[in-house]
């Protein structure tokens, strides 16, 4: 009885700490990531208006979409490490302000070369944001909550697409002050990131010890649990960054995510253009609304799989099944009589497959690595795999320009998702904590 009475306050402190942390941090991080993806991917809809003005070929558009990830490469690991060793609040605030300003400047490009430059710089500005947040979440959420936390944070991706399609369709139809709608799309969608960056400086805490909205016993509980996890996961006392990124699980996860990104970003950037050409629709608002449907499925899948992944403590199959779903769905386009309804169904299943895996995957690195090793691994995995975000859209553009159809591009995406699923299933099982 006495032991139960002593344990009860600890249980209450733990439950209340977990609830308070989620309620305080996740809505704001979610909002930041919505802004991130709106600015990263608005070119997918802007091209419907800018292609004629800038005389963009499919090859040029594919390269312009993907060159974002070349700029994205260099600052991934430094960004993650700065969150671990310096300050998440300062890093994320600076990142938001820089990428918001660069998004706005994209509205003033006049040549393909200028577009390449703007997209490259935007990628460099955004580079530290995602790995920084993944590491930041490991400073606040215990392992059993991390999949749900990542799911709630990364649900911003489908939400950004759900909102971005109709908003982009609306803005593309305007012509204010002598500027076409696609320029206004960049001008208007860059401003929120700058404002949110300023707000971040004042509202985002770095560590649990800094906040007053947790009671002392709640701060003690979360600090003790996180310290216990670090001790459990630390396999080598002094592991260098080079030793970390050479570990077989890190390399396998990197390869799997590379193929996942190659197919996924090819779909995300080209989906509005595919809808326009394969259906013959000319109404950009209609394309915007229909283009939101796949990401409603992605949002539902992300939340359900993130929850179930935490419940079962299983991550690999929760990654593989969405990838295989996307691959099988796109295969249907070659096997069944083609129609607009089939295309929407196929794209909806792809939207599920290219989104629902995210929380399960990003819970994997922090399940077998700790502290700076996990930070370096997250940065390395996302950094290296992001090359797929350059290669995928570029290959689709080149194949489309050469063949005049998306058939070859569809085969490429099917292969990417299948290989990604197999690779991550080969990864060693995560260590339970």
Helix (H, G, I), strand (E, B) or coil at 204: coil
Is the pLDDT confidence value at 281 over 50?
A: yes
The phi and psi torsions of 179 (rounded to 5 degrees) equal -105, 135
Q: Which position has the token pair 């040549």?
A: 111
Mean pLDDT of 62-78: 83
Say how many CA atoms lie within 13 Å of 400 toward its Cβ: 22
Dihedral-angle region of residue 211 (phi above 0 means left; psi in -120 to 50 means alpha; beta otherwise): beta
395 close to 245: Cβ distance less than 8 angstroms:
no
pLDDT at 134 over 70: yes
- 254-270 residue pLDDT tens: 999 999 999 999 999 99
Q: What is the pLDDT of residues 306-334, one digit of tens each?
A: 889 888 888 899 999 999 999 999 999 99
Per the CB < 8 A criterion, the answer to whether 205 and 199 are in contact is no
User: Tell me, what's the pLDDT at 238?
Assistant: 54
Say whether pLDDT at 5 is over 70. no
pLDDT digits (tens, 9 = 90+) for 352-392: 999 999 888 887 876 666 656 666 777 788 778 989 999 99
pLDDT at 2 over 60: no
Runs of H (alpha helix) within 234-283 = 241-245, 248-279
Closest CA to 430 of 377, 360, 368: 368
Q: Are 161 and 292 in contact (CB under 8 A)?
A: yes
How many CA atoms lie less than 13 Å away from 41 in the CB half-sphere?
Answer: 29
User: What percentage of residues in the chain have a pLDDT greater than 70?
Assistant: 90
Q: What does pTM read for this prediction?
A: 0.82
List domains and CATH numbers for the chain: 14-425 (1.20.1250.20)
Give the model confidence (pLDDT) of 19-69 as tens digits. Answer: 999 999 999 999 999 999 898 889 999 999 898 889 899 999 999 999 998
pLDDT score of 1: 43
Q: What is the pLDDT of residue 429?
A: 66
């Amino acid at each position: 009885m006495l032991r139960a009475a002593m344990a009860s306050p600890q249980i209450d402190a733990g439950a209340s700490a977990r609830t308070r942390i989620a309620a305080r941090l996740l809505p704001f991080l979610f909002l930041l990531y919505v802004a991130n993806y709106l600015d990263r991917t608005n070119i997918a809809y802007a091209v419907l208006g800018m292609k004629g003005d800038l005389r963009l070929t499919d090859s040029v558009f594919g390269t312009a979409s993907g060159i974002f990830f070349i700029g994205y490469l260099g600052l991934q690991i430094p960004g993650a490490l700065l969150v671990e060793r310096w300050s998440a609040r300062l890093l994320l605030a600076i990142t938001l302000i820089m990428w918001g300003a660069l998004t706005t400047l994209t509205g003033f490009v006049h040549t393909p070369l200028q577009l390449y430059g703007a997209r490259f710089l935007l990628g460099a500005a955004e580079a530290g944001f995602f790995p920084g947040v993944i590491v930041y979440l490991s400073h606040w959420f215990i392992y059993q909550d991390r999949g749900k936390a990542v799911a709630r944070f990364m649900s911003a991706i489908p939400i950004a697409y759900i909102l971005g399609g109709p908003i982009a369709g609306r803005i593309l139809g305007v012509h204010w002050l002598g500027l076409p709608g696609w320029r206004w799309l960049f001008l208007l969608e860059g401003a929120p990131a700058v404002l949110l960056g300023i707000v971040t400086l004042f509202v985002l805490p770095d560590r649990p010890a800094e906040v007053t909205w947790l009671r002392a016993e709640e701060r003690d509980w979360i600090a003790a649990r996180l310290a216990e996890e670090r001790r459990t996961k630390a396999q080598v006392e002094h592991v260098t960054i080079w030793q970390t990124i050479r570990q077989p699980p890190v390399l396998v996860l990197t390869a799997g995510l590379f193929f996942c990104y190659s197919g996924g970003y090819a779909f995300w950037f080209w989906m509005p253009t595919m809808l326009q050409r394969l259906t013959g629709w000319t109404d950009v608002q209609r394309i915007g609304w229909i283009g939101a449907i796949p990401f409603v499925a992605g949002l539902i899948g992300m939340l359900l799989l993130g929850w179930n992944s935490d419940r079962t403590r299983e991550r690999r199959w929760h990654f593989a099944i969405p990838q295989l779903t996307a691959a099988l769905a796109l295969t249907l386009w070659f096997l069944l009589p083609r129609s607009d309804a089939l295309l929407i169904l196929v794209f909806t299943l792809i939207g599920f497959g290219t989104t629902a895996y995210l929380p399960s995957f990003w819970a994997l690195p922090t399940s077998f690595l700790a502290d700076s090793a996990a930070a370096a691994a997250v940065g390395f995995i996302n950094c290296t795999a992001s090359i797929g975000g350059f290669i995928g859209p570029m290959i689709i553009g080149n194949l489309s320009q050469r063949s005049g159809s998306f058939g070859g591009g569809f085969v490429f995406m099917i292969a990417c998702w299948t290989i990604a699923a197999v690779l991550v299933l080969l990864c060693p099982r995560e260590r339970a904590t």
